[in-house]
Structures are given as structure tokens and as C-alpha cells.
A and B are shown apart, each in its own frame.
Chain A
């Protein structure tokens, strides 16, 4: 686990929650607000360790709930669940591929609201649910699919900017060296 990567992810989660609370144009155009945290969780689960997943679920979920009418902690468990499921099977996932990233984003974007609603309904809360919620769910899932590959692209660029270039393997091999002259 790289601490720099963890800090970048947490900072991105903070900005994501701020954008969701302050930018209303997505809701204005599509009738639903897209949640950016599942996309970040997909990235964190595929590229970083368990500590980052836990920190992202805890901080991101609490930040989101603090600006929402959700009970505090309602978003933490679904985020953590998504992160753990992806983390456990990440060796089987083709994380470099655009399609895999987008598909995971769609699944995470769809699972997060379902998980949160499950928690809310179990707590006895009465969220606004109806036929229109189906459309909002589709928008959130597709939004997750669009945002996740962008997350990968953005963080890859960020890491390239802040980290040393990896040393390229040269074509020189000591066992193939031609020794000239007599011993």
C-alpha cells in the first residue's frame, strides 16, 4: 500500500462529496445525482490495500452522510461491502481493461444505492421511493460506469506526475556478454 495513493484517494473522496452536494447540474439534466464514491471504491479495491478500502468507506461514507439526511453511517457499510468483494476477487479481474473498469463501475454504482436503501429501510426510515427511483437507479449505475474508467485515467496520470519513472529493463544481459581477448 502506498500512503501517497491513499491520500490521493481520500482527497478525491472529499472533493467528490463536495461536488455531489454543490453541483446540481447532473440532477438538473438527468433527474438524479450520480454518486462518485463507488467509482473511487472500485479504483481503491483494484489498486490499493485493505487499509485504503476501510479508510475510504469510513471517511467517504461519513462525509456523504453528514451532508445528507441519511443517518450517520448508512453509506459506510455498503461502500465497505463493495470494496471487500472487489478486493477479494481482484486477482481474477482484468483491471487494466476499459471494459472491466466500466462494468465494475456499473455494478458498484448500482449496488451502492441498493445497499444504502437496505440499511435505511432496516432502520425504519422512509426514503422517497417510487417508480421514478428506478430511473434514478439506472442513472446512478450508468454514471458509475462512466466515472470509473475516468478515475483510473486520472489517478494513473497523477501517479505518473508524482512518482519516479520505473527503470526500464535494458537489453544487456551479463550471460550473453561476448568476452574478447585471451585470459
Chain B
């Protein structure tokens, strides 16, 4: 049924696919960005349509409701101003104490808001694409936060105008984490890993390699540890749900409910260097 020319084409395609699979990571990343470039127009169209629908919906909100929301936001703004003043005093006190103790000065985060334009089409990875790139000052490995400040992931590859974010729960993203109670870490450290027995929408991941005698309880917060140089310390990851012994009781693994709703992310913050 197949002619000789057909066999030649098939062998060519198979060889091409095999050659592509063997490309080094950097070249493959650039090639991926080039191949996915034709989707930019569609993503832009989808984004502007979404925005127009949102504006249309806002135009239908009654004036009374808008006034009520405005009043609520004004009060919230006043409260936040007061809290900011208080935080400013605490920050200057903290800086003075760090200087006296000879510790390095901590600089505040610079963040940039990005819009999610595409999600991972395959079921065995966790990633998304945002509309920020190298021209916005982004580079690989920068931490990415959900709008409420919880950790979402890190930048995997950066193009000129778009970047790929690898999310918590992906097998290729591991984060050093520490268990915290009332804002203070209790020294129990572990590694955040993927949980393959739950869908992304459930927001469940594993905290592995906790020591076998660690006193970790459900409800405790898990935050980034800060070692490794990618994630700053103290970023909220989630809360412990339950624990189970692993490796004949040598270590404990805890299930963690993520603070960030990764399945519903529309916008993310990228922490700039």
C-alpha cells in the first residue's frame, strides 16, 4: 500500500523527531518559543476578549453597589496605610538590629505582575505561560507568586515577551521548605515534592524527607526555607494536612494543602532580582 517515496518521508520524519528529542535544553527552549510564536495572536485575542467581557460585566454593576465597594476599599486603604506605617517602623528597627549584629541587609522584593496566557496541555506536567519576558527584566529561575503572595513556582524558560513557569506539584520542581508555627519556624525542614495521587485542582503536594522524630502536626504552616538561592525564605507554601511514616519510619512525609490555587491562576507576581 505504501510506495517507496512514502517510506522515505516516514523515515525522514522519524529521524527529525529523534533529532529534536536529542536537542540540548537551551536550544530546545528557544525552538519551542519560536514554534509557539504563531499562538501569540490567538492568546492576545483571547486575552482582549476576556477583558472586554469583564468590562462589559463591570458596566452592568449598579451604582449603589459600586459606591458600597468604593467605601469598603477606602476603609481598607486607610487600614493598610496605618499598617504600612507600623511595618515601616518595624523594618527600620529590624535593619538597625541586623546592622548591629553584623548581618547582611535585606532588601525588599521588587515584583512585576504578569497575566497567565496559556496552561499546560499535557496531564503529566504542571506549568503555565505568562506575558512577561526578558524585555521586562525576567530571567530563568526567578520565583513566581500567586496574587495573594503564596508561592506558585519559578521561571523555567524566558523568551523576549513570554515566559514558561513551572508550578509547584510538577515532578521537576523541588523546594526546600520549613514548618512554621505562628510565624516562627520550628526547624523541621523537608523538600516539597509532587503528589501524583491528586489532581491539580485539589492543590495537594507532599513535604518529604522530614526527620522520623519530627513533631509536625496538621494545621501548621509550611514556608520556603531560603536555602539554594532561588526562593527567598518565608514565602507561604501551604498548610500540613496529615503525615505518614516513610522508609520504615526513618522519615516522615506530610501532605500539604497549597495556599495558592494553581488551577485558577489568572495573574502572577514575579519577584525580580
Query: Which residues of chain B come closer than 8 Å to A31, judged between CB atoms?
Result: 199, 201
A residues near B (Cβ < 8 Å) are: 14, 17-18, 20-22, 24, 27-28, 31-33, 35, 50-51, 54, 57-58, 61-74, 76-77, 80, 84, 88, 113, 116-117, 119-120, 123, 126-133, 136, 140
A69-B123 contact, Cβ under 8 Å, with A31-B199, A63-B35, A77-B14: no
Query: Which residues of chain B come closer than 8 Å to A65, judged between CB atoms?
Result: 32
A18-B39 contact, Cβ under 8 Å, with A27-B200, A73-B17, A133-B196: yes
User: What 0/1 readout, one digit per residue, does chain B (105-142) give for beta carbons within 8 Å of chain A?
Assistant: 00000000000011111111111010000000000000
B201 touches A27 (CB 8 A): yes
Given A73-B16, A127-B124; 12 other pairs, CB 8 A cutoff? A18-B43, A58-B13, A61-B17, A62-B20, A63-B35, A68-B120, A69-B127, A73-B19, A127-B171, A128-B125, A130-B196, A132-B198
User: What 0/1 readout, one digit per residue, does chain B (172-192) give for beta carbons within 8 Å of chain A?
Assistant: 100000000000000000000
Q: With the chains together, A69 CA to B128 CA distance in Å?
A: 9
Q: Is B197 an interface residue (CB 8 A)?
A: yes
A22 touches B10 (CB 8 A): no
B124 touches A18 (CB 8 A): no
Q: Is B2 an interface residue (CB 8 A)?
A: yes
Query: Which residues of chain B come closer than 8 Å to A70, judged between CB atoms?
Result: 122, 125
B119 touches A69 (CB 8 A): no
Q: With the chains together, A138 CA to B39 CA distance in Å?
A: 29
Q: Sort A-B residue pairs by CB-CB distance and give the 6 closest, nearest first.
A: A130-B196, A73-B20, A127-B124, A66-B36, A69-B125, A20-B121
- The main secondary structure of chain B at its interface with chain A is mixed
A18-B42 contact, Cβ under 8 Å, with A24-B119, A69-B125, A77-B17: yes
Q: Shortest CB–CB separation between residue A140 and chain B, in angstroms?
A: 7
22 A-B interface contacts by CB (under 8 A): A20-B121, A24-B119, A24-B263, A27-B119, A31-B199, A50-B6, A61-B17, A62-B20, A62-B35, A66-B31, A67-B118, A69-B156, A72-B21, A72-B28, A72-B32, A76-B16, A84-B10, A123-B21, A128-B126, A128-B171, A129-B196, A130-B195
B263 touches A28 (CB 8 A): yes
Query: Which residues of chain A come closer than 8 Å to B82, judged between CB atoms?
Result: none
Partner of A119, one of B10, B21, B33, B43: B21
Q: With the chains together, A129 CA to B126 CA distance in Å?
A: 12
Q: With the chains together, A68 CA to B125 CA distance in Å?
A: 8
Query: Which residues of chain A come closer than 8 Å to B38, judged between CB atoms?
Result: 14
- The main secondary structure of chain A at its interface with chain B is helix
A80 touches B122 (CB 8 A): no
Number of B interface residues, CB 8 Å?
53
Q: Shortest CB–CB separation between residue B203 and chain A, in angstroms?
A: 13
Q: With the chains together, A128 CA to B20 CA distance in Å?
A: 22
Q: With the chains together, A128 CA to B194 CA distance in Å?
A: 7
A127 touches B23 (CB 8 A): no
Query: Which residues of chain B come closer than 8 Å to A20, judged between CB atoms?
Result: 121
Q: Shortest CB–CB separation between residue B43 and chain A, in angstroms?
A: 7
Q: B164: nearest residue on chain A (CB-CB)?
A: A69
B171 touches A22 (CB 8 A): no
Q: Shortest CB–CB separation between residue A17 and chain B, in angstroms?
A: 7
B170 touches A113 (CB 8 A): no
A72-B263 contact, Cβ under 8 Å, with A80-B14, A117-B124, A132-B197: no
Residues of B18-46 contacting chain A, CB below 8 A: 18-21, 23, 28, 31-33, 35-36, 38-39, 42-43, 46
